[in-house]
Amino acid sequence: MSPRVVLIVALALSVLGSAIGNVYVKHQRRTLVVELHALGNERDAMQVEWGQLQLEQSTWATHDRIQALAASRLGLRMPTSDSLVLVVP
């Protein structure tokens, strides 16, 4: 075989390898873009859930609710002004 034929075959194989690599990289890119969008949607859903949980926590921790539970479940009540002792350093 002449050096020219070897060079042409080598260049043809290089072009073919480059084309296959290009197709592979584009496929990987598309796969990663789809995964990125799915993760973005999941992040958005988690942010909505986080907001709902914060709202629920603030509802459960209101002062009036805690005071009502202390009175009904534990029998606690606010002390009268006569029973308060002020300690001054």
pLDDT of residue 35: 98
Please report, rounded to a whole number, the percentage of residues in the chain having pLDDT higher than 70: 100
Report if residue 87 sits inside a domain.
no
Q: Between 31 and 83, whose confidence is greater?
A: 31
At a CB cut-off of 8 Å and minimum separation 6, what does 65 contact?
59
Over residues 40-80, the pLDDT tens digits come to: 999 999 999 999 999 999 999 899 999 999 999 999 988 89
Residue 41 lies in a domain: yes
So what's the pLDDT on residue 36?
98
Read off the tokens for 75. 């029998």
Mean pLDDT of the chain: 94
Domain assignment present for residue 78? The answer is no
What residues make up the domain containing 31? 23-73
Assess if residue 29 is contained within a domain: yes
Task: Say if 33 falls within a structural domain.
Answer: yes
* Helix spans in 61-83 (H): 63-74
Q: Examine residue 52 and state whether it is found in any structural domain, yes or no.
A: yes
Contacts 24+ apart (CB under 8 A), 66-75: none
Number of domains in the chain: 1
